[in-house]
Amino acid sequence: MAYQETTTRGYGQRVGSSFKGIAGGFILFCLGTALLWWNEGRAVKTDKMLNEAEKVAVEMETVSKINPEYDGELVHASAVATTQDSLTDAEFGLGVRAIGLQRRVEYYQWVEHEHSESKDKLGGKQEIVTTYTYSMEWVSRPVQSSQFHDPAFQSKNYVLYTAEDSRQWAENVTFGAYRLNENQIHGIRSMEPVILDLADNQLKAWDKACRDIHIRIHGAGSLAPAPPVAKPAPKPVVVAKADSTASDSLIATVPDSVKTVVPDSVPQENKRDYDFVHQAGNVLYFGQSTNSPQVGDVRITFEKVVPAMVTVIAKVSGDTFKSYKAKNGKTFSVLRMGKQDMDEIFESEHSQNTLFLWIWRIVGIMLVILGLKGIFNIVVTLLKVVPFIANIVGWGIGVVCTVVGLVWSLIIIAIAWLFYRPLLGIALLALAAFLVWVFAFKGKDKLKELAQRGKAQPGLQNV
């Protein structure tokens, strides 16, 4: 399933693109520099804010009643977040009492993957071979196969049903006698399946619509023959006591494609199958077979956010909460699942701040290096008339840009630390100066030493 396209770029085109790359490289260099500066300031301010919040935070013994003594205080408390609000998914006729209601839609589609390889030609031309491969995957949105490069796949994709992802939240979520604010509500992650019980007339209407689409795409001959109608078994007179084997037999009937999201407690009457619509657990499946998905199939999963124990560190404001604002202007409010100690939460927040510090440092340094390479890539492109010379020069420019980018990044970080924390900034500047000395002066001394050795042993030059 591979399709290839070969294109050729002339020497003039490559030079023109490299001149444009200078502007792009300069933009990347400036963005990386700004990111490094901003990141250091963000990390220092966040660290100071956390230290300040940790000093003033107090334990709230109980949230069972409003206590005016805590108004305006930064508090730490744990309680069950719950609600009496009802949420409705009108498109599918679902209604639940929950903190949140989520609908996730997936489509089984052909997906195009692209891989390019380039080869330099003598005289400065470049040959680019692009290989396109195709695979069937579950994706979050329908894929427009008309944009595929291989004509054989340009009309492959279609869907039996379309719907958008959806997420709703309750407006009133209580935390003892208090109410959680919107940001806190959205931070609750106690997800559970919504067991479906859709109306038969709606399932039949969807089944007919999907059948019509399938016939229009594939023709009536593609439909599987209907299975023989079996007579219903007589209902048992004696009701047996429920045991584990019943739930095991139920799960055995659930297709593997949806078994992972169906709990053991799904009632038997929940599972309903039509030719093109299958309802099982919290999954609504559009397609002929859940065990063997085909292009066009759609899988919709429904979940809800249920009441759960949460821990909050936030500033009390009447009967609700808001973010704590530190002296440096940074704000702080956190909601964690389960019951957690205050010290444990602050330790985690400090660790998270350090993690983000290093992530953004690496991103900033990479942007600076890529920017420098983009600026000086014009030199390599001009030498592409002789590819092997261009490759040697390109390797050297890459090394120089990497070293210069690292040194520049250390200098920016050090200056930022001088601005925010002087002692550490001085240490980083000293490290940057040492790197400059090692690569500049020590490298020059090494070359002189090698030259002197060559003069001292002239016999080696004749070998």
Query: Which residue in 318, 352, 321 sits closest to 79, CA to CA?
Result: 321
Tally the C-alpha atoms within 13 A of residue 24's C-alpha that lie toward its C-beta.
11
Q: Which residues of 195-225 are buried (b: 16+ CB within 10 A; e: fewer)?
A: bbebeeeebeebbeebbebbeeeeeeeeeee
**Dist. CA 319–CA 172, nearest whole Å:** 12
Place of tokens 């220092």: 44
Amino acid 460: pLDDT:
41
The widest CA-to-CA distance across the chain, in whole angstroms, is 109
Amino acid 122: pLDDT:
78
**Which are the contacts of 318, defined by CB distance < 8 A and separation ≥ 6?**
66, 71
Sequence-ordered alpha helix ranges (H) in 314-386: 342-382
Q: Are 211 and 224 in contact (CB under 8 A)?
A: no
Amino acid 439: pLDDT:
65
Report the predicted TM-score, pTM, of the whole model to 2 decimal places.
Answer: 0.76
**Dist. CA 380–CA 244, nearest whole Å:** 71
Q: Are 439 and 402 in contact (CB under 8 A)?
A: no
Sequence-ordered alpha helix ranges (H) in 171-230: 182-186, 200-218
Amino acid 444: pLDDT:
54
Amino acid 452: pLDDT:
60
Amino acid 387: pLDDT:
77
* Helix/strand/coil for 358: helix
Amino acid 148: pLDDT:
95
* The two structure tokens encoding residue 145: 């196969």
**Dist. CA 41–CA 234, nearest whole Å:** 75
- Segment 241-253, tens digit of pLDDT: 333 333 333 333 3
Q: For residue 27, give the amino acid letter.
A: I
**Dist. CA 200–CA 442, nearest whole Å:** 82
Amino acid 415: pLDDT:
85
DSSP per-residue codes, 31-54: HHHHHHHHHHHHHHHHHHHHHHHH
The residues of the chain scoring below 50 in pLDDT are 229-268, 459-463
Place of tokens 């299958």: 278
Amino acid 300: pLDDT:
97
In 281-355, which ranges are E strands?
283-286, 298-305, 308-317, 320-322, 324-325, 331-332, 334-337
Amino acid 423: pLDDT:
64
Q: Are 286 and 161 in contact (CB under 8 A)?
A: yes
Amino acid 120: pLDDT:
78
Amino acid 461: pLDDT:
43
- Segment 212-222, tens digit of pLDDT: 999 999 887 77
- Judged on CB neighbours under 10 Å (0-12, 13-18, 19+), 343 is exposed
